[in-house]
Amino acid sequence: MKLDLLYDKLKNFISEERIKQNEPMKNHTSFHIGGPADILVLPQDAEEIKRIITCCKDEGVPFFVMGNGTNLLVRDKGIRGVVIKLAQNFNDIQITKNIIKCKAGMAVSAAVRAALENSLSGLEFASGIPGTVGGAVVMNAGAFGGEMADVVKKVNVLDLEGNIFEMSKDELGYSYRNSVLQKGDKILLDVEMELTPGNRDEIKAKMEDYISRRKQKQPLNLPSAGSAFKRPPGNYAGYLIEKAGLKGYRIGGAMVSDLHAGFIVNIDNATCEDVLKLIKHIQKEVKDKFNIDLEPEIKIQGES
């Protein structure tokens, strides 16, 4: 009943095509896995996000904020309450000299293209990283020796009381694949990145090289959520998993990629349960053989 009331409230300020009921989350994750969300909303600006959160609080309904779902595994029973998706519906960009400012829903690939078009260097490492800039900033995504912490200057966030304020890079508490924004008590609205003027041809060559290397080494043709595990200190998850003899190991429709053992791929309508069992098996084998604990990099959401 609460959900019906909430849906009616949301319709007062968001058009119906941007509110979806019982929406299969497999349609919103790169893994193509996940049961239905009670309500999925696609806001277009910060004011709509504030009003959605207020409505959820008033009705006592939980909410969850996501980007493009490229690092997300949703459980088979789905997500109760409201999913607020910030992706192509929330993706404006402004470029002033060497500063790129974009909303959290901007695709990383679009930001990388904008940097190239404006002969700005510093985002080359992100070439081929899937998902949104917001997701990349929150998790401090990185590759090829670079990471978002290298380019982020400041961000604007919305707290759960509806206040919008600025945070500098130093306040984001960046570390390997982590930031204070992962606590979930603030919603990233936009980010300002400071890049360096450079030579367009050199920037383009580096971007093309990184994309080519990704295609050779990563199973980009199969549904996955990117690297399944964080890199353990002084080692590589993919190397350990391969040495444990798990390349191609399969549970249900989920498999350790035979191209890159650091990836779990959905090869045949995998369920979330398939992936979770495979993660546990990998962790156990690597622990038994090398006494190293692997920590998942994939974010898991939904009803158990």
User: What is the per-residue pLDDT across 206-255, written as a single tens digit (0 to 9) for each?
Assistant: 999 999 999 999 999 999 999 999 999 999 999 999 999 999 999 999 99
Show the domains of the chain with their CATH numbers.
2-85 (3.30.43.10), 93-202 (3.30.465.10), 219-301 (3.90.78.10)
Known catalytic residues are 177, 227, 297
Q: Tell me the average pLDDT across 10-19.
A: 95
The helix/strand/coil state of 27 is helix
User: What is the per-residue pLDDT across 72-92, written as a single tens digit (0 to 9) for each?
Assistant: 999 999 999 999 999 989 999
Q: At 95, list the tokens.
A: 């470029």
In angstroms, the CA 231 to CA 246 distance is 17
According to the model, what pLDDT value does residue 68 have? 93
User: What is the per-residue pLDDT across 35-78, written as a single tens digit (0 to 9) for each?
Assistant: 999 999 999 999 999 999 999 999 999 999 999 999 999 999 99
Q: Tell me the average pLDDT across 253-264.
A: 97
pLDDT > 80? residue 263: yes
According to the model, what pLDDT value does residue 282 have? 98
Q: Tell me the average pLDDT across 2-16.
A: 94
User: What is the per-residue pLDDT across 175-189, written as a single tens digit (0 to 9) for each?
Assistant: 988 999 999 899 999
In angstroms, the CA 296 to CA 276 distance is 10
Q: Tell me the average pLDDT across 14-25.
A: 96
According to the model, what pLDDT value does residue 34 have? 98
Name the band, by pLDDT with cuts 50, 70 and 90, for residue 2.
confident
Name the band, by pLDDT with cuts 50, 70 and 90, for residue 138.
very high
Name the band, by pLDDT with cuts 50, 70 and 90, for residue 274.
very high
Burial of 287 (0-12, 13-18, 19+ CB in 10 A): middle
According to the model, what pLDDT value does residue 184 have? 84
Q: Tell me the average pLDDT across 197-201.
A: 98
pLDDT > 80? residue 203: yes
According to the model, what pLDDT value does residue 60 have? 94
What does the longest C-alpha to C-alpha distance in the chain come to?
Answer: 59
Percentages helix, strand, coil for the chain (3-state, rounded to 5) are 35, 30, 35
pLDDT > 70? residue 147: yes
The mean predicted confidence, pLDDT, of the chain is 96
pLDDT > 90? residue 303: yes
In angstroms, the CA 166 to CA 223 distance is 35
pLDDT > 70? residue 1: no
DSSP 214: H
Euclidean distance between the first and final Cα of the chain, in Å?
Answer: 22
